[in-house]
């Protein structure tokens, strides 16, 4: 990925980790950042703010669950800005814990359509052009639930699927010079997470206690990891799933082991 005339596409880029990623790339010279988000008003506000600071940022409406919208969005990106050097698939939905007997199948289907199918649709459309040019970097948003079971059933099944999808993409598109990796954010203090804390649906004390670093992840920290995986410094990395979780995964496993030091 070069610094000159590089095109960065971020789906779900109007808030949370996606917004932090947009800000990270837009802060560098020579970047054209395209936000694709279902909330066009919020995306345009972010784009306008960053353009006021001299960045080249553009907002486009995108519902990743709609194949028609995905095709139109990707065609517009390619025709207007050129082949992206980076695609970050940040568009996605959260879910609260639910018992299998009480699972709403419509919600389950919506989670699969947005989190998994949407990632596949956008990646496939833009990766065709990346493969033709012989370079590119794609980042998918996995989760701690890519590694551990969770009662967020639709969300967890989807994120586990994204783990496999990332590896398949990496294997198939690597020979054409396209790298595909994923980040697996832990409990990240996004607006969506804060809303769940405020409503009592998440216990912040439990999150902090079970994390080795005793804190939440900041969205900017995930964005920094994404930036690294797209950089020349990660040029030999593909098919990797990198946790960014303040040590939640290691702590949950360590604390559950029967033998503990006194």
Catalytic positions, written as ranges: 155
Q: Which of 1, 22, 171 shows the shortest CA–CA distance to 90?
A: 22
CA neighbor of 16 nearest in space, from 238, 216, 248: 216
Helix (H) or strand (E) holding 172: helix 153-173
- Residues sharing a CB contact under 8 Å with residue 4, sequence separation 6 or more, in sequence order: 30
Phi, psi (rounded to 5 degrees) for 184:
-120, 85
Beta strands 86-89; 56-61: pairing state? unpaired
- Name residues whose C-beta falls within 8 Å of residue 220's C-beta, 6 or more positions apart in sequence: 20, 23, 24
Residue 13 to residue 91: CA distance in whole angstroms: 7
From CA 92, how far away is CA 113, in angstroms rounded? 9
Q: How many residues does the chain have?
A: 262
Helix (H) / strand (E) containing 130: helix 118-133
């Amino acid at each position: 990925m070069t610094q000159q005339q590089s095109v960065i596409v971020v789906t779900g880029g109007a808030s949370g980790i996606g917004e932090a990623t947009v800000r990270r790339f837009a802060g560098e010279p020579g970047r054209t950042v395209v936000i694709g988000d279902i909330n066009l008003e919020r995306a345009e506000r972010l784009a306008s703010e960053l353009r006021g600071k001299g960045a080249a940022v553009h907002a486009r409406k995108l519902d990743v669950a709609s194949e028609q919208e995905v095709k139109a969005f990707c065609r517009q990106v390619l025709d207007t800005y050129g082949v992206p050097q980076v695609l970050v698939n940040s568009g996605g939905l959260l879910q609260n814990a639910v018992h299998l007997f009480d699972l709403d199948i419509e919600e389950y289907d919506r989670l699969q359509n947005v989190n998994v199918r949407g990632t596949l649709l956008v990646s496939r459309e833009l990766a065709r052009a990346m493969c033709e040019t012989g370079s590119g970097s794609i980042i998918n948003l996995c989760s701690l639930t890519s590694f551990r079971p969770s009662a967020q059933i639709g969300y967890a099944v989807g994120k586990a699927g994204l783990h496999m999808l990332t590896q398949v993409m990496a294997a198939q598109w690597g020979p054409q010079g396209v790298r595909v990796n994923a980040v697996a954010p832990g409990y990240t203090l996004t607006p969506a997470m804060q809303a769940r804390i405020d409503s009592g649906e998440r216990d912040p004390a439990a999150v902090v206690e079970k994390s080795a670093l005793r804190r939440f992840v900041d969205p900017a920290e995930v964005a920094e990891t994404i930036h690294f995986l797209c950089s020349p410094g990660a040029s030999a990395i593909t098919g990797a799933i990198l946790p960014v979780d303040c040590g939640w995964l290691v702590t949950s496993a360590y604390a559950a082991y029967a033998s503990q030091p006194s």
